[in-house]
Structure 1
Amino acid sequence: MNSEKLSKRLETVAKYVPVGARLADIGSDHAYLPCYLVSNGLISHAIAGEVVEGPYQSAKRHVEELGLFQKILVRKGDGLEVIQPGEVDIISIAGMGGSLIASILEQGKEKLEQVKRLVLQPNISAISIREWLLDNGWGLIIEEIIEEDDKIYEILVAERGNEHEPYQNNLEQGLLLGPYLLQENNPVFRKKWQMEKETWLKILNQLQHASPSSQNEDKRQELLKKIKLVEEILEK
């Protein structure tokens, strides 16, 4: 991995960063994404944020090795702590759980006022992000689903306003599966939800044999509901 070549996952994220943007990449790991974008002249400068000491040092080292330290600031801090209001117009957060990404956005809300676009790639629970966007006036404009090394990733791109627009038909199904991904219904999308459904059926089976409790019954009902939502799509 180097600044010339990104993984397919990060390449997909990079594609949605507008040319000339001022980017903050949160949880930047080795700062691969900002290094790639700056090296290729796609953006003029970036901030790479890391909360963990090891990846923070790796990011600093990578930026220095490429001689990009005047254009990429590597900062240590939690979530959006690493940026000042108005300092960037695009934020990318990739490679974390959806609920963690949503909590980073929630905790740093005051930093988002002048941000024009969010490019988010959750490893799991994209629904947490969709719910946060909907509640906070950010509209999904693009979704993409890809497979790389036997893992499936969703990339969500959001801008301010029109937050209800993508969900016109079915809010519940759209939040779980992704309104645009749902429309496209491509083979990677179908594979992901077929696998999810099989996992849920296994859990359901375990719950049937568990001792009865209201908590188990709630979980059972929730799983049955999700399975039904997914089956409606897989049967198309």
Structure 2
Amino acid sequence: MNSEKLSLRLERVASYIPKGSVLADIGSDHAYLPCYCILNGIASSAIAGEVVEGPFQSAKKQVKQNGLEERISVRKGNGLEVIEPGEVDCITIAGMGGPLIASILEEGKEKLADVKKLILQPNIGAISIREWLIENGWELKEEEILEEDGKVYEILAAEQGNPNKPYLNLDRDLLMGPFLIKDQNAPFRKKWQAEVTQWKNILNQLQGAGDNEKTSERKQEITKKIQLVEEVLD
């Protein structure tokens, strides 16, 4: 992977970025995504944000190698600390857990007033992002699930709007994704079949763990999730 040829996962993230965007890529690592977006005429300018020193230096090096110092600002900082209010209109956060992405958005939400689009790619825990979007007035517009190198990834694209609009069955749709449920492609079915298998294993382990209140609640929670998922897969 480099600035000219992204991984499939990042290529699909890039496909949701509106043409001409002023982009902030948070947790940019080597800055491959912002470099690709400038080189391919997707973004007009970009900020690559990175909190860790090693990837920050890698991002600076990558931007310099591509001669893009005038178009991409590489900044070191935690989450949305690297942008000012009104500075960008599109934000990408890719390759982290869903709860971490949600916490980054929550901690920097005063920076989002002028942002038109969020493109979020959690490795796990997409439910945390969907919950945050609903709570903060962002409407989920598109979702995608794909498999690359044996791993399954979800991509969520949101705009400010009616946050409840996509959800018909809230518990089920938050968990599995309202648009993904409609499509049910092979990676979707693979992911949820594996989740059900894992939950059933946990239930079996809990059967022998005594029956206190905490264990009982956990069993009910897992059983409900299994039922929700199996209804969709069937």
- TM-score between the two structures when normalised by the length of structure 1: 0.97
- Structure 2 letter corresponding to 1:47: I
Q: Following superposition of structure 1 onto structure 2, how do residues 19-98 of structure 1 map, counting pairs within 5 Å?
A: 19-98=19-98
Number of the residue aligned with 1:227? 226
Distance 2:149 2:24 in 1: 27
Structure 2 residue aligned with 1:123: 123
2: distance between equivalents of 1:128 and 1:98?
Answer: 6
Deviation at 1:173, TM superposition (A): 0.4
Amino acid at match of 1:72: I
* Aligned position for 1:179: 178
**1-side partners of 2:82 and 2:128: how far apart?**
23
SS at match of 1:166: coil
What's the CA shift for 1:213? Answer: 2.5
**Cα distance in 2 for residues equivalent to 1:35 and 1:109:** 25
Q: Which amino acid aligns with 1:27?
A: G
* SS in structure 2 of the partner of residue 128 of structure 1: helix
Mapped partners of 1:210, 1:39: distance in 2: 57
Deviations 1:153-196 (A, max 9, x none): 000000001111100x2111000000000111122111110001
Q: Which residue of 2 aligns with 1:3?
A: 3
Letter in 1 for 2:39: S
Q: CA deviation at 1:217?
A: 1.5
After TM superposition, the structure 1 = structure 2 runs for residues 127-146 of structure 1, keeping only pairs within 5 Å, are 127-146=127-146
The alpha carbon displacement at 1:199 in A equals 0.8
In 2, Cα distance between the equivalents of 1:208 and 1:129? 31
Unpaired runs of 5+ residues, structure 2, are none
Hey, what does 2:194 align to over in structure 1? 195
Distance 2:4 2:34 in 1: 11
* Number of residue-to-residue matches in the alignment: 234
Matching residue's letter, 2:192: W
Moved over 2 A (4+): none
What is residue 103 of structure 1 aligned with on the other side? 103
CA distance in structure 2 between the partners assigned to 1:198 and 1:113 by the alignment:
42
1:212 CA drift (Å): 3.0
Residues in 1 aligned to 2:217 and 2:211: alpha-carbon distance in whole angstroms: 11
Question: What is the match of residue 170 of structure 1?
Answer: 169
Matched residues in 1 for 2:58 and 2:207: separation? 48
Which residue type is aligned with residue 78 of structure 2? D
- Aligned equivalents of 2:50 and 2:216: distance in 1? 41
Give 1:205's aligned residue: 204
RMSD over aligned Cα, in angstroms?
0.8
AA aligned to 1:210 is A
1:214 aligns with 2:218: no
Describe the SS at the equivalent of 1:118.
strand
CA distance in 1, matches of 2:134, 2:119: 15
Report sequence identity in percent.
65
- Partners of 1:186 and 1:104 in 2: how far apart? 30
The 1-side partners of 2:2 and 2:171 are apart by 40
CA distance in 2, matches of 1:163, 1:7: 30
Give, in whole Å, the separation in 2 of the partners of 1:99 and 1:42: 28
Q: 1: CA distance between counterparts of 2:209 and 2:28?
A: 42
CA shift, 1:209, in A, is 1.5
Q: What CA distance in whole angstroms lies between the structure 1 residues aligned with 2:51 and 2:219? A: 37
